[in-house]
Structure 1
Amino acid sequence: MELFDVYPLYDVTPVSAQGCYIIDDKGQKYLDLYGGHGVISIGHSHKDYVSAVTEQLERIGFYSNSIKNPLQEALAFKLGEVSNCKDYNLFLCNSGAEANENALKMASFETGKYKVIAFDKAFHGRTSAAVAVTDNQKIKAPLNSQHEVVFLPLNDEDALEAELSKNDVAAVIIEGIQGVGGLNEGSKDFFGALERLCKKYGALLILDEIQSGCGRSGKFFSFQHHGIHPDIISMAKGMGNGFPVGGILISNSIQASYGMLGTTFGGNHLACAAALSVLNTIENEQLIDNVNEVSQHFLKRIKEVHEVKSVKGRGLMLGVSFDFPVSEMRKALIFEEHIFTGGSSDPNLLRLLPPLSIGTAEIDRFIDALKRVLNSIRKKENSI
């Protein structure tokens, strides 16, 4: 039996990792500026994280949600404390797609409506409802067309109100910062209009913070840069630092009923231990402050790279835009400079999602490497 062919694979086989670095089976060390799609938040193999998960496994790793799990209550309390979102209730699941799936279901239960507004270039996951609100026809099956979804351009308040005023919209779902879509972000005024118009027309506002949450933007959630209060917040990725865990924060004005949402593995003992360790580390090591400090250093140093057209995003969720495709550059960064970076649906954008614990020395290494790679590409082009 062979694996189903899903992704084009780089010929690198990681066998261990520590902090911001990965080591392959040949002993080569790589600087990780991608964090496995933004999953690694507190750094690879953080000692407190490893201890928390190991010690929990030695006690109890899993039991069903039909019994009390005090770790879930501890996680909900700590998440409210660290995120400053205390007026929400937490539902735990296993992934970002599952979080969005439940968020959309919750909105439909609450409003009695079924239509959803999403945005151009959005990516919300690959499960049924989550992929329906994703603006990528390549990953949609005919089954997904059963959902009624309207896609609107970002920052178009008139188009938003025109659609909401039909009074048949259950929810508006938006990423705090688009990840796969190319680091696009709604303006502060647009986020304010989203909140106001959703309230006016009885739709719920769902903030997808799966990639932009857990401190990555320089605040715990990226919507906090805009001073709004969503009805539902979805999260995952950095929440578990590699352990599969996701969740939705549901405004406490929305009432739950038994059987409305459910999960077998969500909120299991190991997942809660991992997520609690992440939150404690973010708080104890002041990683959100580090995000802002390192981000400012990056923005200062990237100005030295004259080929850069623009920088998009916030904090340590960054897109470096060029006037040409970055695929060759990414390969050179991996195989010549031993640095992992990411791409997006924009072929000209280099996406950076490093661990929040990264330091300025690693940023300096990347900038210097990027200059060398660009210089090498330029020389090759001139020799043709």
Structure 2
Amino acid sequence: MSNLFQTYGRWEIEPASAAGCWMTDINGKEYLDFTSGIGVCNLGHRPKNVQDAVLQQLDHFWHVSNLFANSNQEKAATALAQGAGMDLVFFSNSGAEANEGAIKLARKATGRTKIITFLNSFHGRTFATMSATGQEKIKHGYGPMLETFVYVPYNDIEAVKSVMGDDVAAIMLEVVQGEGGIHVGDQQFFKDVENLCKQYGALLVIDEIQTGLGRTGKPFAFQHFGLQPDIVTSAKGLGSGFPIGAVIGKKDLGTHFGPGSHGSTFGGNPVSIAAAIATMDTIFQEEFLIEVNEKGQYLQNQLKEKLGKLPIVNDIRGLGLIIGIECNFSVAPLLAELRNNGLIVLQAGEKVIRLLPPLTATVAEMDEAVKCLATFMKKVAESTVKA
């Protein structure tokens, strides 16, 4: 009997070690890991520069509290703000906490409570972020949600207009809906949403928990679309596996998050901050991001060439190195078969295979993943035809 709450449908793999794109289990079996810890290990497992930075910090101190000045927090905030083209940063422990902070800040800054989010969105599992999420399955069994969220179809500006008004504090969206099936928003939709926010004095909040930190080939995914959000949230890839999240905002919001207005005991922990600085030192380099764009295009092209004509594949879509393969069947059994054969990938809903390879994956590693996918998806296609 386990003493753990059974909140996770755990796989049959127990890791023993990991480096780069590869993981080895306790039985010595190796796996090509195209999950990146669900978009966390953007530089792969145990990148040396991050490990060195963490070890150096461990020799100084691990925790003192946010009552003390912290020059490394300032350094990390500067890098993050500059990467997003914004001004101010609040550090938390996770993406859900970052989104919780963004919701609080938007309500406090505007004096309004209504927030528009989108069907199939995912923003976290705290009560406010669960309320913000446009998926009923996330909320099942928890009773009434916060009443100030309104959900509309993604990429549907008329639906947004139908609920927009002077009572709206913010529109909160993902540039790529990750958990919702790897859906990329439309350029015109985003610009229309941004203009609506300006027209009504609402804030534009962009959730970059999964898409930020180079995942799409830009520091943040919204930068592909020329958007100017008021608040951006970040986590996952920010710490290369060490727990950290961030609320990034424009300078005019600073007066609304003053002393005592918000806080976090462990937010901006010195060890996580050291990891974040080292991570950003690599990911925010222009040459690195150019390579991510090239890799993302290469991987999508290979997937379309090798899988696109299979009758079981409806679509292959994504941005940079967040890619979804939409199938016409439940993909869970296929993912188990792939794991048995050394490739680890994710789901995004019942019928979408989600690929989140490390941004450092090589062409050879991408080719190996595509080959494995093609082998077993062709078997599924053949068995479907026979049936």
- Provide the TM-score with structure 1 as the length reference: 0.95
Could you say which residue in structure 2 is the equivalent of 1:20?
Answer: 21
SS for the counterpart of 1:262 is coil
Kept after mapping to 2: 8 A contact 1:128/1:144: no
Corresponding residue pairs, total: 379
The structural deviation recorded for 1:381 is: 4.8
Could you say which residue in structure 2 is the equivalent of 1:244?
Answer: 243
The structural deviation recorded for 1:258 is: 1.6
Q: Cα deviation per residue 1:257-280 (whole Å; 9 max; x = unaligned)?
A: 221111110011111101001001
CA distance in 2, matches of 1:322, 1:210: 25
- Could you list the structure 1 runs, at least 4 aligned residues long, displaced by more than 6 angstroms after superposition: none
1:33-72 residue pairs with structure 2 within 5 A?
33-72=34-73
Letter in 2 for 1:330: L
Letter in 1 for 2:188: D
Letter in 2 for 1:78: A
Kept after mapping to 1: 8 A contact 2:300/2:323: no
SS for the counterpart of 2:330 is coil
Kept after mapping to 1: 8 A contact 2:21/2:357: yes
1:133-148 residue pairs with structure 2 within 5 A?
133-140=132-139, 141-142=141-142, 145-148=145-148
RMSD: 1.6
Q: Cα deviation per residue 1:72-130 (whole Å; 9 max; x = unaligned)?
A: 1111122234x151x32010000000000000000010011111100010100000110
Could you say which residue in structure 2 is the equivalent of 1:340?
Answer: 344
Kept after mapping to 2: 8 A contact 1:132/1:144: no
CA distance in 1, matches of 2:170, 2:161: 13
Q: Quick one: percent identity of the two aligned structures?
A: 38
Could you say which residue in structure 2 is the equivalent of 1:169?
Answer: 168
CA distance in 1, matches of 2:382, 2:258: 65
SS for the counterpart of 2:192 is helix
Kept after mapping to 1: 8 A contact 2:81/2:89: no
Kept after mapping to 2: 8 A contact 1:342/1:351: yes
CA distance in 2, matches of 1:382, 1:207: 43
Letter in 1 for 2:48: K
2:306 is aligned with 1:304: yes
Could you say which residue in structure 2 is the equivalent of 1:331?
Answer: 336
Could you say which residue in structure 2 is the equivalent of 1:260?
Answer: 261
CA distance in 2, matches of 1:104, 1:378: 45
The structural deviation recorded for 1:285 is: 8.7
Structure 1 stretches lacking a partner, 5+ long:
none
CA distance in 1, matches of 2:352, 2:114: 32
The structural deviation recorded for 1:155 is: 2.0
CA distance in 2, matches of 1:248, 1:105: 11
2:202 is aligned with 1:203: yes
Kept after mapping to 2: 8 A contact 1:129/1:144: no
Could you say which residue in structure 2 is the equivalent of 1:354?
Answer: 357
CA distance in 2, matches of 1:269, 1:144: 38
CA distance in 1, matches of 2:287, 2:3: 44
Letter in 1 for 2:38: H
CA distance in 1, matches of 2:339, 2:146: 41
Could you say which residue in structure 1 is the equivalent of 2:371?
Answer: 368
Kept after mapping to 1: 8 A contact 2:117/2:171: yes
SS for the counterpart of 1:309 is strand
The structural deviation recorded for 1:324 is: 2.1
CA distance in 2, matches of 1:222, 1:380: 38
1:200-239 residue pairs with structure 2 within 5 A?
200-239=199-238
The structural deviation recorded for 1:143 is: 5.3
- Provide the TM-score with structure 2 as the length reference: 0.94
Could you say which residue in structure 1 is the equivalent of 2:157?
Answer: 157
Could you say which residue in structure 1 is the equivalent of 2:114?
Answer: 115
Structure 2 stretches lacking a partner, 5+ long:
none
Kept after mapping to 2: 8 A contact 1:93/1:245: yes
